[in-house]
Amino acid sequence: MRAWNLYQPTSRNHYNPCFWVALWNKSYFQAWQSGSAGAAGCARAQAVWVLNLRSDRIYESNVEGVHYQKGFGVAEITADSMVDWCRRWHPAKAQGLADYVQQNPDPLHLDFEPTLHGLEQLHGYDAIMDAVRHERILSAAHKGFLACGVMTHAMRSYEFSTSMLERQRQKQGKWEYLWLLKTAMANELVLARATLPLAMGEWTLWRTPDLTFPLCDSPVIIHRDGIVAVLSPRLLLQIDLTVARPEDHWIRRDGIPREMLDGLRGAVLGNSFKELVAWDRATLGEWRGDPRCRMRLEALASREGREATLAAAAERVIWGIMGFGRVPDDFETWAPAVRDRALASEKGQAVLSELRACAARDREREGIDNNAGGTPGMGKRK
C-alpha cells in the first residue's frame, strides 16, 4: 500500500469555523460566554437551525453539517503540472524535476485543511472570539488584530474562494490557486493593504440584549466604504471609512435602530449563498417570509444566477483586499518595514499581481456596489 493511501484528506472544508458557528446555538452561546462551554459539549456537535437557500427548507442540523465546501481543499498535483509550475517559478530546477517525475510519475495530493486549521490558531480569530466573549473592544492592539481577523476571514470566504478558484482553473490547476491563497494569507503586505484603511475608519459595535443576527455564509460583508461583520447572534461590527477616527477610538452601542436592523437583513441575505443559520425555527421563518429572501432564492435557483451572485460578492472582497480604493498602487514600494522581506519573494509579487488582475475592471470606486443588499448605513429598503 502506498504511503499516501494511509492518509485521509479532509472532505469537508468549513469556510466558517465550527467553533464560531456553534455560537448560534443559544445554550452553547450562553455557556461559552460564561466560560463553561466545556459542559455544553463539542462545538461541532451543537444543534442549529438552517434555512437552506438551495432547497428552500428549514431544518435542524449539527454545526459540522453546515457552511462547508465538499472537496474544496483537496487538489491533485500531476507530474506535468509540477514541471510546468517549476518552469515558471524555478526554471533552473525544472529539468531536474522533469527527470525525477519521469521516474516517479505518480501524482501528489494537496490538502488545504491544515492551512485553514493553522489560520484559526492565529491572533485574528482569537481577537474575533475575544470581542464576542466580552462584547467590546479591549484595546487598540485588540482592534488591530480584529481588523486582521475579519479581513483574513474574508479571504477564505465562500464567494471569494469559489469565484477565484474558477478563474484560476481557466489558467492553471486548482492546486496552484490554493498555493497562491496560502501565500496571500502569509504575506504581510497583502494584509497591510487590506487593513490599513480599516484602522482609520469609525468603528461601532452594536450589541443587542437578545439573539438578533443570524449567520450567513459570509459574515464579513464588504461594501464600497467599509464593512459590516456579524460577530455573534447579538454583536455586530460596523466600520465606516467615510469617517476618520484615531486608532484608539471606537464606539459601543446597546440596541440597534429598527431601520438599521431592517437594512442589515438585506445585507445578510445579500451575502447568503447556501445556508442561513439561527438559533430557532421561528427566526428563520420570519426571514424566509421577507420579500428580499424570496428574491435571493430566485437568484440562486439557476446555475447562471448563482455564478453571477458569487462573482459580484467576490468582487467586493477583492475591493476590500486591495484597500477599499484608498491605498495607492505603489503602496508596497514605500512600506519599508516589510518591503524587503515580503516583496523580495516572487510569490509575494505573484499574489499582488493576481489580485490586481482580478480587480482591474473595478478600479473606480463607483464600480463597487455601495449597497450590497442594504449594507452602508443600512437604511430601509425601498
pLDDT tens column, 169-190: 666 778 888 888 888 888 888 8
* pLDDT class of 371 with cuts at 50, 70, 90: low
Confidence at residue 295, expressed as pLDDT on a 0 to 100 scale: 95
Cβ atoms 215, 16 nearer than 8 A: yes
The more confidently predicted of residues 348 and 210 is 210
Strand 68-70 relative to strand 47-52: parallel, antiparallel, unpaired? unpaired
Candidate from 40-44, 111-115, 310-314, 323-327 with smallest mean pLDDT: 40-44
**116 found inside a domain:** no
* Listed residues 55, 83, 111: the one ending a domain: 111
135 and 88 within one domain: no
Question: What per-residue confidence (pLDDT) applies to 10?
Answer: 79
Band (pLDDT 50/70/90 cuts) for residue 1 is: very low
- 206 and 234 share a domain? yes
What region does 220 belong to: left with phi over 0, alpha with psi -120 to 50, or beta?
beta
Same domain, 159 and 269: yes
- Tell whether the model's pLDDT for residue 381 goes beyond 50: no
Q: Is 2 exposed, middle or buried (0-12, 13-18, 19+ CB in 10 A)?
A: exposed
Question: Are 86 and 159 part of one and the same domain?
Answer: no
No. of H helices and E strands in the chain? 17, 12
337 in a structural domain: yes
pLDDT the model gives residue 37: 62
CA angle at residue 154 from 149 to 156, to 5 degrees?
100
Residue 128 — very low, low, confident or very high, per pLDDT cuts 50/70/90?
A: very high
Joined together, the cell numbers standing for residue 205 give: 459595535
Q: Is residue 148 part of a domain?
A: yes
Query: In this model, does residue 317 exceed pLDDT 60?
Result: yes
pLDDT at residue 164 in the model: 79
Judgement on whether residues 65 and 79 belong to the same structural domain of the protein = no
Q: What is the rounded CA–CA span in Å between residue 317 and residue 307?
A: 15
For the chain, what percent of residues have pLDDT higher than 90?
62
Q: Identify the band that residue 379 occupies on the pLDDT scale cut at 50, 70 and 90.
A: very low
Which of 40-44, 156-160, 167-171 is predicted with the least confidence, judged by mean pLDDT?
167-171
Nearest 5°: the CA angle 132, 133, 134 is 95
Asked if 82 and 225 sit in the same domain, the reply is no
pLDDT score of 90: 86
Task: State mean pLDDT over 267-293.
Answer: 96
Residue 181, pLDDT score:
84
Record the cell numbers describing residue 156, joined without a space.
477564505
| Arithmetic mean of pLDDT, 132-142 | 96
Would the pLDDT of 210 be above 80?
yes
For 251-264, what is each residue's pLDDT tens digit? 999 999 999 999 99
| Position 211 in a domain | yes
pLDDT above 90 for 275: yes
The pLDDT value recorded for residue 377 is 45
Q: What angle do helix axes 123-134 and 140-155 make, rounded to 10 degrees? A: 120
Domain boundary among 111, 133, 164: 111
Whether 196 maps to a domain, the answer reads yes
Number of folded domains that form the chain:
2
pLDDT, position 344:
47
HSE of 301, CA atoms in CB hemisphere, 13 A: 8
In Å, how far are 13, 104, 182, 268, 350 from 111, measured between CA atoms?
10, 20, 12, 30, 21
In this prediction, residue 364 has a pLDDT band, given cuts at 50, 70 and 90, of: very low
**Closest by CA position to 239, among listed 255, 253, 223:** 223
The residue with greater pLDDT, 338 or 251, is 251
Q: Residue 71: what pLDDT?
A: 85
Q: How many CA atoms lie within 13 A of 177 on its CB side?
A: 22
94 and 139 share one domain: no
What grid cell was written down for 333?
514600494
Contacts of 150 (CB under 8 A, 6+ apart): 124, 128, 198, 220, 227, 229, 237
Residue of 278, 187, 197, 273 whose CA lies nearest to 233: 278
Which of 2-11, 284-293, 362-371 is predicted with the least confidence, judged by mean pLDDT? 362-371
Do 226 and 155 lie in a common domain? yes
Could you tell me if 106 and 143 lie in one domain?
no
| pLDDT at 359 exceeding the cut of 50 | yes
Ranking 84-88, 237-241, 287-291 by mean pLDDT, the lowest is 84-88
Does pLDDT of 313 surpass 60?
yes
CA 125 vs CA 113, 148, 210, 246, 338: distances in Å: 16, 9, 24, 23, 23
Check pLDDT > 70 for residue 369.
Answer: no
Q: Which three cell numbers stand for residue 228?
A: 459590516
Q: Do 259 and 133 lie in a common domain?
A: yes
Could you tell me if 183 and 328 lie in one domain?
A: yes
Cα–Cα dist 244/231, whole Å: 23
> In this structure, are 64 and 84 located in the same domain?
no
pTM attached to this predicted model: 0.86
- Among the three residues 64, 88, 111, which one is the final residue of a domain in this structure? 111
Residue 140: give the domain boundaries: 12-30+47-73+122-367
Mean local confidence (pLDDT), 233-259: 96
Question: What value does the mean pLDDT take over residues 105-131?
Answer: 92
Task: Answer whether residue 372 is part of any domain.
Answer: no
* Whole-number Cα distances in Å, 112 to 13, 45, 119, 256, 314: 8, 23, 11, 39, 20
